[in-house]
Amino acid sequence: MIDQLRGAELDRVFADWSAPVIVQRVDQGLDSDFDEVSESETNFEVEAVQLPLRSSATARTGMQHVATECDFLMRTIDLPGDLALASCRILTAGRVWSVIQVTRSSNGQVVQLRGQVT
């Protein structure tokens, strides 16, 4: 899907459907004095197109719990170049999504992040 979005069509999709989200870089460290993992977060506000939510029962829980996932489209130029997307979170509409998959378009203009509610 993301490879089909180019030029004016890409501009139109973002003009019509994007909304601001927070991409949160999470840096983890170990506090050796207390044997605890600490986290520091850095937030980046970017425009993203949020695709429809998907929910499915998880086999690991005997189909008793539901995993909710969502894909977000973002322009590569809106993201810091050194950002490790696989270790980020997406914050939007009161939900926190852990990034579980990163897909880049062949032309490098768009990135699709799949998030799972944490």
Q: What is the pLDDT of residues 36-94, one digit of tens each?
A: 888 889 999 999 999 999 887 776 666 677 889 999 999 999 999 899 999 999 999 99
Closest CA to 69 of 58, 84, 83, 85: 58
User: What's the whole-model pTM score?
Assistant: 0.84
- Residue ranges of the domains in the chain? 2-28+35-117
Q: What whole-number distance in Å separates Cα of residue 39 and Cα of residue 44? A: 16
Q: Does domain 2-28+35-117 have CATH number 3.40.50?
A: no
Closest CA to 111 of 46, 28, 43, 40: 46
Q: What whole-number distance in Å separates Cα of residue 70 and Cα of residue 87? A: 16
Structure tokens at 55: 């929910």
